[in-house]
């Protein structure tokens, strides 16, 4: 029988952030594209859900109080509007080549302006220009409309730094639950769920 990857004594220090780091490092070595891609699920105050893929741009136990997982977006987009009204979310990583998933749930907090500025400045220039030109999630007549806006923004900032738009920033999901899932033959999967309490993290195995 294969060793139990999620046996309690196989998890370094019993810390889900440490286990996440181990799995994420393996994913970066094995996934052909965007190992940091994750599904982000948000919902309206009435509970209507929506989900989309975003990119993880920071994570760790020392990332703010309680640690976290960071992504960036236009805060006026659909996801931004839902987060403003209902700041709870869920993340899902699925690494097909490793046959693994990680599910993360918790509240969302905006990152600091300094953190958003630093990340925005690190982006490719065309990505900066695109963020300034796009009314993310708003209707448009055709793609040419966006390309024209993009070119106008390019001309505006020719020879200058592109400032971060005030409506473009990041969010940190502060995990309250993290579940690790590993595929096994015949759907006899391994699952371990960590939950945060007043005394720290506790974990338990789950039936597949």
pLDDT higher than threshold 90 for residue 7: no
pTM of the model: 0.93
* Spatial distance between the Cα atoms of 135 and 81, rounded to a whole number of angstroms: 13
What was the pLDDT predicted at 14? 76
Whether the predicted pLDDT of 1 surpasses 60: no
pLDDT in tens, 20-31: 999 999 999 999
The annotated binding site for FMN is made up of 52-57, 72-73, 78-79, 101, 136-137, 181, 191
Over residues 151-167, mean pLDDT: 96
CATH number of 8-119+170-205: 2.30.110.10
Domains of the chain, by residue range, sit at 8-119+170-205
Residue pair 55/38 in contact (Cβ under 8 Å)? The answer is yes
Average pLDDT, the chain: 94
Active site residue 143: no
Residue among 164, 184, 187, 193 flagged as catalytic: 187
Would you list which residues are annotated within the binding site for substrate?
57, 119, 123, 127, 187-189
Are residues 86 and 44 in contact, defined by beta-carbon separation less than 8 angstroms?
yes
Asked whether residue 125 carries a pLDDT value surpassing 60, the answer given is yes
Residue 3 has pLDDT above 80, yes or no: no
């Amino acid at each position: 029988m294969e060793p139990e990857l999620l046996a309690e004594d196989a998890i370094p220090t019993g810390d889900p952030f440490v286990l996440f780091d181990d799995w994420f490092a393996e994913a970066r070595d094995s996934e052909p594209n965007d190992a940091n891609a994750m599904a982000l699920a948000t919902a309206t105050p009435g509970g209507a859900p929506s989900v989309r893929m975003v990119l993880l741009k920071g994570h760790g136990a020392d990332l703010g109080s309680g640690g976290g997982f960071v992504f960036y977006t236009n805060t006026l987009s659909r996801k931004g509007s839902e987060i403003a009204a209902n700041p709870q979310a869920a993340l899902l990583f699925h690494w097909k080549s490793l046959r693994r998933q990680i599910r993360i749930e918790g509240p969302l907090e905006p990152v600091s302006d300094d953190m958003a500025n630093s990340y925005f400045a690190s982006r490719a220039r065309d990505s900066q220009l695109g963020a300034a030109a796009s009314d993310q999630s708003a209707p448009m007549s055709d793609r040419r409309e966006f390309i024209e806006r993009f070119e106008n923004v390019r001309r505006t900032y020719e020879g200058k730094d592109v400032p971060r738009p005030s409506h473009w920033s990041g969010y940190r999901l502060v995990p309250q639950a993290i579940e690790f899932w590993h595929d096994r033959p015949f759907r006899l999967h391994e699952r371990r769920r960590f939950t945060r309490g007043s005394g720290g993290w506790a974990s338990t195995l789950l039936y597949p």
